[in-house]
Every structure is written in structure tokens, then in C-alpha cells.
């Protein structure tokens, strides 16, 4: 599992539940860049776990599919969503909405409610935390760091 491998069989790769959504503009930007210099794709393999879930490089994978070029990948074991969040936040910071979508996709109703209110009322993250948790209510999970760990709770 320590070698960089290559394939044109895109179906072996899976999206890890809870990862950020694909940004089409980012895919286009990468495809344009790789199209001008295909060696860039070899220099930046995607990282997958032992289940072939993409941990890092889902946008590069989509760009390679679009260009019909082989995908270079590196396989590691025993990594999941927490490591994805950590890796991705170092390259492009996860927004509160990214975290909310991640936990909502995993079935957390509190984050689904957060997203519904965000979409309907266009409120800031801090206002949503206060509003949805109840004024002067401390649940222990309604700070931004706790929000990022999936501990956000809508007040009763």
C-alpha cells in the first residue's frame, strides 16, 4: 500500500460520506490546468483509503474523468472523514456550511435544521448558532469548535 498506482477505471473510487460537495468551478479550473500540462496529474496523486474512498483529491479525480486521463492514486489504510476534514481544512478551509452539510449527510437532524434556516433566512453562522440554540441557553455544543465536531444541538 505504499506505491503510487495508476488507473483509468474511475468506477473503483468512491466518495466518502460526509465529504464536501464537488465544486464544479474548481473541477473546471483543475481540468484547464491539467489539460495544459498533463504531468501535473502525475505529480499530485489522489489519496484513498482501503475502501477506495477518496480522502484527498476528489476535485482532481473529477478533472481527470473529464479529461479522460488516467488517475494516479496512493492508498492508505484506516483513515476516514475526520482525517479528510483535517487534510482539506489545511488546503481550503471548511466553512460552517461545509461542516453542516457533512453532518447532515450523515443523518444529523440538527445540522439539517441549520441548513434549512441558512437557506431560508440567509443568516450568518454566529446568528444561527444563537437563534437555533435558544437565547441564554448553554448546551455545550453550540460554539463553533463544537459545531465542527458534530455536537451542535437545536434548542427546544
Give the tens place of pLDDT for each residue, 111-133.
Answer: 999 999 999 998 889 889 888 98
Give the tens place of pLDDT for each residue, 50-78.
Answer: 899 988 889 999 999 999 999 999 888 77
Dihedral angle computed from the Cα positions of residues 116, 122, 125 and 128, in that order, rounded to the nearest 10 degrees: -60
The per-residue pLDDT for 27 is: 94
Residue 98 has pLDDT above 60, yes or no: yes
73-89 mean pLDDT: 75
Answering whether pTM is above 0.75, one says no
Is 141 buried (19+), middle (13-18) or exposed (0-12) by CB count in 10 A? middle
- The backbone torsions φ and ψ at residue 119, rounded to the nearest 5 degrees and listed phi first, read -65, -45
Q: What is the mean pLDDT of the chain?
A: 85
The per-residue pLDDT for 104 is: 94
- The backbone torsions φ and ψ at residue 142, rounded to the nearest 5 degrees and listed phi first, read -115, 40
Amino acid at each position: 500500500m505504499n506505491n503510487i498506482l495508476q488507473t483509468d477505471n474511475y468506477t473503483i473510487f468512491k466518495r466518502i460520506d460526509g465529504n464536501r460537495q464537488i465544486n464544479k468551478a474548481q473541477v473546471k479550473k483543475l481540468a484547464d490546468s491539467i489539460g495544459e500540462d498533463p504531468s501535473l496529474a502525475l505529480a499530485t496523486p489522489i489519496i484513498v483509503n482501503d475502501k477506495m474512498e477518496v480522502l484527498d483529491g476528489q476535485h482532481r479525480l473529477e478533472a481527470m474523468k473529464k479529461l479522460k486521463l488516467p488517475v494516479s492514486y496512493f492508498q492508505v489504510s484506516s483513515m476516514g472523514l475526520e482525517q479528510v476534514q483535517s487534510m482539506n481544512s489545511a488546503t481550503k478551509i471548511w466553512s460552517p456550511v461545509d461542516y453542516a452539510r457533512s453532518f447532515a449527510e450523515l443523518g444529523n437532524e440538527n445540522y439539517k435544521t441549520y441548513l434549512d434556516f441558512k437557506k431560508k433566512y440567509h443568516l450568518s453562522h454566529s446568528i444561527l448558532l444563537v437563534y437555533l440554540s435558544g437565547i441564554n441557553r448553554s448546551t455545550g455544543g453550540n460554539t463553533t469548535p463544537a459545531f465542527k465536531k458534530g455536537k451542535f444541538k437545536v434548542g427546544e
